[in-house]
Amino acid sequence: MARPIVATLDLVAMRNNLQVARQAAPHSRVWSVVKANAYGHGLDRVWSALGTTDGFAMLNLEEAILLRERGWKGPILMLEGFFHADELPLFDKYRLTTSLHSNWQVKVLANARLNAPLDVYLKMNSGMNRLGFTADRVQTIWKQLRAISNVGQLTLMAHFADAELPEGIAEPMKLIEQATEGLECARSLSNSAATMWHPEAHFDWVRPGIILYGASPSGQWRDIANSGLKPVMSLKSEIIGIQNLKGGDAVGYGSRYRATDEQRIGIVACGYADGYPRHAPSGTPVRVDGILTTTVGTVSMDMLAVDLTPCPQAGIGSSVELWGNEVKIDDVAAAAGTVGYELMCALAQRVPVVVQS
């Protein structure tokens, strides 16, 4: 028998989530963001569940080529464009829409020999100060691009740093308006948070990522509790050992948890080498046989411990949900001081994956 840990991917939930995103932005087309191997879910496993999307957005060439080889004929947006000039022939061959965020990319595109023009997303820096042209340069670059025969359809793209906050996009929206004054341009501005919570930023194309996987862009699943979004990934395992502690007994490396009284604990076949966050402290939520309880002690490479006080019937072989429909990945992430994005992206190779369609 195999080690009992398994990640299940619910493609029905994923189709549902794309619908939720569409309903949130009914007048926009949707780039389904599938970077980082579809946020750790496996692009090849899940892309077809998003097959009714208007386009896929990512940043690895290998992932874009995979989609083309699987038969995806619609638009593909490379969010960071090409990293080196020698990638241009592949952008041309596979008909990839490229983001342009730097001068050198504009020059490379202008001088490339292409079979046909490439669609371009001009990336504006609206305040995150990661990638993109500053507001004062947008009009100049836009005109420059218009004059380049290798440039097909042109769209303005920006990305918000704080879209999960109620006032989080006010400043960048002002900057974008100023930068584009008098410019007739298609726009793509909204990540998941703006897609859900800032309709004034929807425009022509939205770019939801995390909500397609059923987690919250704010890191607090309560923010999406009534949205109809459903978790795609469930991480489940089983109890493989039981310990009956006496008052004062410790659990795990560093003896970071000590029982105050008699306590029954279960040892679960899941550790940080599976992608469970080692930073998760005692008290992180987990379900055993469907009953809510918590982790105790330091997460090991291959195991973690859970309190069985609320579930005295549990024993060897009891099922454990680390995250999924009952235990929200956002809650586990919050306990561990991170976000659901990081946990899903970190699902380890060694965890077997079952796809439910």
Ligand X SMILES: *Cc1c(COP(=O)(O)O)cnc(C)c1O
Q: Does residue 15 interact with ligand X by CB under 6 A? A: no
Structure-block tokens of residue 30 = 């949707």
User: By CB under 6 A, which span of 1-9, 208-216, 246-254, 342-350 interacts with ligand X?
Assistant: 208-216
Least CB distance to ligand X at residue 79 (A): 5
Q: Tell me which of 209, 231, 275, 297 binds ligand X, using CB under 6 A.
A: 209
- In angstroms, the Cα distances linking 191 to 31, 127, 350 are 10, 15, 31
DSSP 31-100: EEE-HHHHHTT-HHHHGGGGTTSSEEEES-HHHHHHHHHTT--S-EEETT--SSGGGHHHHHHTT-EEEE
Structure-block tokens of residue 10 = 């619910």
Cβ partners under 8 Å of residue 208, min gap 6: 21, 30, 31, 32, 33, 190, 191, 192, 195
CB atoms within 10 A of CB 84: 8
Instruction: Tell me the CB-side half-sphere exposure of residue 128, using CA atoms within 13 A.
Output: 17
**Catalytic site residue 276?**
no
CB atoms within 10 A of CB 185: 14
Q: Does residue 198 interact with ligand X by CB under 6 A? A: no
CA dihedral 101, 102, 103, 104 (to 10 degrees): -120
Position of minimal CB gap to ligand X: 209
Q: Tell me which of 97, 105, 192, 284 binds ligand X, using CB under 6 A.
A: 192
Contact string (CB under 6 A) for ligand X, positions 302-331, x = contact: ------------------------------
**Catalytic site residue 253?**
yes
Q: How far apart are CA 346 and CA 215, in angstroms?
A: 15
Cβ partners under 8 Å of residue 12, min gap 6: 356, 357
Q: How far apart are CA 299 and CA 237, in angstroms?
A: 14
Least CB distance to ligand X at residue 159 (A): 4
First to last CA, the chain: 25
Q: Tell me which of 34, 79, 329, 332 binds ligand X, using CB under 6 A.
A: 79
| Binding residues with ligand X: total (CB under 6 A) | 11
Q: Does residue 135 interact with ligand X by CB under 6 A? A: no
DSSP 258-276: E-SS-EEEEEES--GGGT-
User: By CB under 6 A, which span of 85-93, 206-214, 218-226, 298-306 interacts with ligand X?
Assistant: 206-214
User: By CB under 6 A, which span of 15-23, 65-73, 111-119, 209-217 interacts with ligand X?
Assistant: 209-217
Q: Does residue 217 interact with ligand X by CB under 6 A? A: yes
- Which residues in 152-181 contact ligand X (CB under 6 A)? 159
Nearer to ligand X, 196 or 296 (CB): 196
Least CB distance to ligand X at residue 345 (A): 11
Catalytic residue among 107, 143, 174, 253: 253
Least CB distance to ligand X at residue 106 (A): 18
Nearer to ligand X, 59 or 112 (CB): 59
Q: Does residue 208 interact with ligand X by CB under 6 A? A: yes
Contact string (CB under 6 A) for ligand X, positions 19-38, x = contact: --------------x-x---
User: By CB under 6 A, which span of 45-53, 133-141, 202-210, 257-265 interacts with ligand X?
Assistant: 202-210
Q: Does residue 75 interact with ligand X by CB under 6 A? A: no
Least CB distance to ligand X at residue 191 (A): 4
Q: Comparing C-alpha atoms, which of 326, 322, 267, 342 is closest to residue 297?
A: 267
Q: How far apart are CA 124 and CA 135, in angstroms?
A: 7
Q: Does residue 210 interact with ligand X by CB under 6 A? A: yes
| Catalytically active residues, by annotation | 35, 253
Q: Which residues sit at the interface with ligand X, rule CB under 6 A?
A: 33, 35, 79, 159, 191-192, 207-210, 217
